[in-house]
Amino acid sequence: MAPTTTVPPTTTTTTDPGLLPQTSTEPPIDGTLQAALTPLWSAMVSGSQAEALAVFFPRSAYLQMKTGILPDPSSDYADRLIAFYNLDLAAYHAALGAGAPSATLVSVDATPSYASWIPPGSCENKVGYWHLPGVRLVFRDGGTVQSVAVASLISWRGTWYVVHLGPNPRPSDVGTVDQPATGPGTPGPPGGC
């Protein structure tokens, strides 16, 4: 009789990055940025909120940044940040219209010099982070090149995350497409938190 072997079960451990301490590592602004934001583009095309959450700033990291600064950072995260993100995602999806399934992402454009380190204590945050404003998602819909902005990316441990899809602040509490343009548009403007 041949000996039998038992293969141990495969396990994977994924640590929530927001449970780890922040670093000052600046995330790259190169081809990896397009790869990082491709799930957001896919979510805009499909309208899937669940898919879009893959690139949104982690709740646990937000709690590290805001606990002791805001009275209820958990509610602010859910009721303001995620609520606006979902409204904006629906607006971006609607703006793509009937052509959404055939629209293709051409590039993700950003201006590296617009990235800035926001130190602890600034912008109502007790933890520092990198901020990148006005990233452009350039896409082709039919024969036309168009673009929209992602208002604000911030970093956690050397990775970019979306924190504001539409403009922040905004004139009213509705989903808003930030800086839509025919053509590739211009990244930015610089500044912000």
Q: What is the pLDDT of residues 38-77, one digit of tens each?
A: 999 999 999 999 999 999 999 999 999 999 999 999 999 9
Q: Inform me whether the pLDDT recorded for 13 exceeds 70.
A: no
Residue 99 confidence class, pLDDT cut points 50, 70, 90: confident
Q: 159-164 and 104-109: which strand pairing? A: unpaired
Residue 127 confidence class, pLDDT cut points 50, 70, 90: very high
Tell how far CA 49 is from the center of its chain: 12
Say which residues have a Cβ less than 8 Å from residue 42's Cβ, sequence separation at least 6: 48, 51
Segments making up each domain of the chain, as ranges: 27-182
Across the chain, what does the average pLDDT equal? 93
For residue 1, what pLDDT is reported?
55
> Residue 191: which region, alpha, beta or left (left: phi > 0; alpha: psi -120 to 50)?
left
For residue 90, what pLDDT is reported?
97
Compute, in degrees rounded to 10, the torsion defined by CA atoms 96, 98, 100, 102: -130
φ, ψ at 103 (rounded to 5°) = -70, 140
Q: Is the dihedral of CA 94, 95, 98, 101 positive or negative?
A: negative
* Alpha-carbon span 157 to 45, nearest angstrom: 28
Residue 190 confidence class, pLDDT cut points 50, 70, 90: very high
User: Do 51 and 112 contact (CB within 8 A), yes or no?
Assistant: no
